[in-house]
Amino acid sequence: MRQKSSSTGGAAGSADGVARRSAIAEEQAFLDLATARRDTLADHLRTELSSDPSDAVERARQRMLRRQHEELRRAREGLVFGRLDARDGTVRHVGRVGLRDDGEGGEPLLLDWRAPAARPFYTATAVDPQGQTRRRHIRTTESTVVGVDDEPLDGTTTAELVGEGALLAALDERRTGRMSTAVSTLQREQDDIIRAEATGPLIVQGGPGTGKTVVALHRVAYLLFAHPTMAEQAVLVLGPSPRFLRYIAQVLPALGETAVVSATCDTLLPGIRVQRDESRLLAEIKGRVLWQTALETYVTSLLPPPRDLKLRWEGEFYLIPAATVAQTLASAVQGRPYHRARAAFAEQLHHILADAVVEQREALMNEMEEGFEDILARVDRSMRYDPVGRRPAGSDVDGLLSEEEVESLPGRIAANAAIARFVEAWWPSLDAETLLRDLLADRTLLARFAPRLTTEEIIAVSTEPAPWASSDVPLLDALADLLGEVEAPRPQGEFVADQARRRRDWVYGHVVVDEAQELSEMQWQMVLRRCPGRSITAVGDIDQAEAAHRHTSWAQAVRAAFRDRWTAAELTICYRTPREVMSLTEPVLREAGSRNAPPRAVRSSGIDPWVRTVTPTELAGVATEAVRELRQRWRGGTVGVIAPAARVAELLAALSGVPVLTATQSKGLEWDATLLIDPRGIAAEPRGWNGLYVALTRCTQELGQVVLA
C-alpha cells in the first residue's frame, strides 16, 4: 500500500504548522548559506578565467574552469533540493552542484546529486534505508524555500514513489512548452539507469511518459560528472526532430553541461541539408544495412589500378614498375579511407622515387667514370636543373648526392607541385555527394554494388529526384567516412562541443539516442561511426515506432549495429499521462500488434477524456471551438492539436495560437491538453496504430477527441 509522505508548506496554525514553519526556516538558513558560498566560488573562478591561455595544458585547465564556472552560474533554481538524515545523526544536503565550505580542508557543504553519497536520496526505501532515517524534499522558488516534504525511512511508512508529494506537484505543474529538469524528483528505476555503467550499448525500453527523455538527459549530466574525460570528447544527444531538440534544449545547460552536441540524424553531417520528403518505400529501401557493404565495394572499385608509373624529376624520367606500385598500394590501403590511403601511398612513392633518383645518379656516375661523353652531358644537365633554386648547397664535386641531399630528397619531392599533380591525376580526389549522385542514378552500378536489391527497388531508387532526402544522409555519411578528408581539419572553437559540431569524424565520449526505435539500420551505422567504443545509451519505445523500417522488436532493430551485444533496461511507470487517458491505450496497442502492456500511470487528473462527433464540413469549426475552450481551461499552460497528415493544412488555416502536428511530429512532446482530430484517420496512416498510441499519450491533464461521423 502506498502512503503519502508528510508534506509541509503553506499556512497552518496547529503544532504541525509550527513544525512546518520551523523546518522551512531551517532550510531557508541553509539555502542562504549555500547560495552565498556558490556566489563566492563563482566570483573566484571568474577571476581565474583567461581569454588567452598560453599553452595546451593551460587551455585544458581553462576549459575545466570555464565548465565549473558555467555550472555554478546556472545552478540558481533549485540549488538545494534535498536532505538526508542518517541514523548516526549526520545531516547532508543534496543539490544541483557540489559545494565545500571555506573552512580549513573545505568540508562538504552540499552534495552534488550525481555523487555516490547522494544516491540514497533517490534509492533509499523503508525496506532498504541505506543508513538513512529520513529523506526530505525541499521546494524552492528562486531563492526562497516554500515547502518541505518529509519521508521517514524508519519503516513507519512504505512508499512506492520517492518524494511523492514533490513528484506529484512537479507532474501537475502547467507545461511551458520547454522540458524542465527532474533532478530533485528522479525515481528509483530512473536513477538505476542514469547511473548504469557506460561501457557498452544500453537500450532502455519505456512506454509513453515513463521519463525516457528525462533519464537520457540526466544520464548525460551524470556521465560527464562521473567520467571527466568524457567531457574532453563531448557527448552527442540525438533526437527525432529540431522541434524536439528545442523542447529539451534548456535541460542540459540548466544542469550546467556545455560539453554536449545535440542533433537529429538529418543534421548530423556538416554541410548537408535535407531538402525534400521521400516515400516510405524509398526510406525503407535506403535504410537497409546492405548499403554499407555496397558503398564499401563501390569506393574500393574507385581505387586506381596498379600500373607502371613514369615520373619526371629534375629533367629525368623514372619508371616505378607495376609490381612495386601494386605492393605499395596494398600497404597504403589496409583499411584506410580513400584519401588517407592516397596520402600514405604518396608518402611511400616519394621515398621510392628518391631511392630511384639516388640509384640512377650512382649508376650514371659509374658509367661516367668509364668515360662516356654523352652520359657526362646528361649528368651535367641533371645537375644544372634547378628551376626554383632549391638545390641545397654542398653537392659533392664528384657528382654524387651529398648525404644531406639524399636525406632531404623525399621532402623536396613531396613539396613538388608537378609530382602532386601526377598523383592527383592517377588517384583523383572524390567527393561524397557526386559519388552518391552517380551511384543512385546508375542502374548498372546499383545492380553491381547492391546485388541484394530487386530490379523494382533499383528502378525506384534510380528514379528519385536530385535534392537530398533524409535516407540519403546516412549514405552520404558512410561515403564521406570511406573517403576520409583530403586534409585534416583544424580544431576551432572555445568549447569542445563547438569543435565536435563542426567535425564529421569527431569521436564522442558517449552518444545518447532518444526515440531510438525510429532509427534505420543505416542511421545506426552513423551512430556507431561517432562512437566506435559503443558507449551508447538508446532510449525509446518499440511500440511507438512509426518509421519506414519494419522492425517490431529491439533485437531486430539493433541486430545490424550491435548483434546481441547490448544490455536492456526498462521503465515501467508513466509520469506524464493521467490514468483516465492511459486506460484508452490498451486496445490501441493490441491493434498495433504489440504484446506489451501500456505503462502504469502514476497519477489521475480527475478529468475524463471526451469525444465530439462531427461531419467533415463541421470539423474546422468544432476544432476551433474546442481549442478555444481548452486554452481557456489551461490558461498559462499549453494545448496541442494532433491530426492525420492530410488534415494538417486545413486545421492550420483554421486554428491559431496552437501547434497542429501529425502524430510523428508530436513524438517526445507534451501539452497540458491535447485535441486529437480524426483518430481513425491517424490509425489509417502507415504504422497508424503506433501513431495513434503516440498521439493519445501527449497530454498531462486533458484529452479531447473530434471524431468524424
- Least distance CB 205 / ligand ATP (angstroms): 10
DSSP string, 590-638: HHTT--SPPPEE----S---EEEEE-GGGHHHHHHHHHHHHHHHTTTS-
Query: Between residues 83 and 212, which has the closer beta carbon with respect to ligand ATP?
Result: 212
The response to whether 210 counts as a known ligand-binding position is yes
Touching ligand ATP, residues 506-545 (CB under 6 A): 541
The response to whether 593 counts as a known ligand-binding position is no
- The DSSP bridge pattern shows strands 6-9 and 536-540 to be unpaired
Q: How many residues bind ligand ATP (CB under 6 A)?
A: 23
Q: How far is CA 381 from CA 314, 372, 420, in A?
A: 9, 15, 23
Q: Helix or strand or coil: residue 478?
A: helix
Query: Between residues 208 and 484, which has the closer beta carbon with respect to ligand ATP?
Result: 208
- Least distance CB 97 / ligand ATP (angstroms): 19
The answer to whether the CB of 137 falls within 8 A of the CB of 162 is: no
* CA dist., res. 491 & res. 502, Å (int): 9
Touching ligand ATP, residues 567-586 (CB under 6 A): 575-576
Which candidate, 347, 355, 356, 351, places its Cα nearest to that of 319?
A: 356
The response to whether 572 counts as a known ligand-binding position is no
- Least distance CB 208 / ligand ATP (angstroms): 3
- Told to check if 661 binds ligand ATP by CB under 6 A, we report no
- Least distance CB 698 / ligand ATP (angstroms): 7
Stretch of residues binding ligand ATP (CB under 6 A), selected from 205-213, 287-295, 310-318, 610-618: 205-213
Binding mask 151-190 for ligand ATP (x = CB under 6 A): ----------------x--xx-------x--x--xxx--x
Touching ligand ATP, residues 576-635 (CB under 6 A): 576
- Told to check if 209 binds ligand ATP by CB under 6 A, we report yes
- Told to check if 78 binds ligand ATP by CB under 6 A, we report no
- Told to check if 5 binds ligand ATP by CB under 6 A, we report no
- Rg of the Cα atoms in the chain: 33
* CA dist., res. 610 & res. 298, Å (int): 57
How many angstroms separate the first and last alpha carbons of the chain? 44
Query: Between residues 217 and 325, which has the closer beta carbon with respect to ligand ATP?
Result: 217
Name the phi and psi angles at 336, rounded to 5: -80, 150
Query: Between residues 264 and 697, which has the closer beta carbon with respect to ligand ATP?
Result: 697
Q: In this structure, is the dihedral angle defined by the CA atoms of residues 120, 125, 126 and 130, taken in order, positive or negative?
A: negative
Query: Between residues 409 and 588, which has the closer beta carbon with respect to ligand ATP?
Result: 588
- Told to check if 365 binds ligand ATP by CB under 6 A, we report no
Looking up cell 662516356 gives 372
- DSSP letter, residue 686: T
* CA dist., res. 243 & res. 249, Å (int): 10
* CA dist., res. 417 & res. 427, Å (int): 15
- Told to check if 662 binds ligand ATP by CB under 6 A, we report no
The single-letter code of the amino acid at 272 is I
The response to whether 211 counts as a known ligand-binding position is yes
DSSP string, 2-31: --PPEEEES---SHHHHHHHHHHHHHHHHH
- Least distance CB 700 / ligand ATP (angstroms): 7
Stretch of residues binding ligand ATP (CB under 6 A), selected from 53-61, 72-80, 207-215, 386-394: 207-215
H or E stretch including 703? strand 699-708
H or E stretch including 673? strand 671-677
Query: Between residues 474 and 598, which has the closer beta carbon with respect to ligand ATP?
Result: 598
- DSSP letter, residue 206: E
The single residue among 213, 471, 520, 662 that binds ligand ATP, judged by CB under 6 A, is 213
The response to whether 212 counts as a known ligand-binding position is yes
Query: Between residues 215 and 423, which has the closer beta carbon with respect to ligand ATP?
Result: 215
Query: Between residues 208 and 704, which has the closer beta carbon with respect to ligand ATP?
Result: 208
- Told to check if 210 binds ligand ATP by CB under 6 A, we report yes
The single residue among 151, 257, 670, 702 that binds ligand ATP, judged by CB under 6 A, is 670
* CA dist., res. 123 & res. 129, Å (int): 8
The single-letter code of the amino acid at 363 is A
Query: Between residues 112 and 541, which has the closer beta carbon with respect to ligand ATP?
Result: 541
- Told to check if 214 binds ligand ATP by CB under 6 A, we report yes
The single residue among 8, 267, 471, 697 that binds ligand ATP, judged by CB under 6 A, is 697
Long-range contacts of 226-229 (CB under 8 A, 24+ apart): 226/114, 226/195, 227/198, 227/509, 228/64, 229/509
- Please state, as a whole number, how many other Cβ atoms lie within 10 Å of the Cβ of residue 491: 12
Residues near ligand ATP, by CB under 6 A? 167, 170-171, 179, 182, 185-187, 190, 206, 208-214, 541, 575-576, 668, 670, 697
Query: Binding site residues, as ranges?
Result: 206-213
Which parts are annotated binding residues for ATP?
206-213
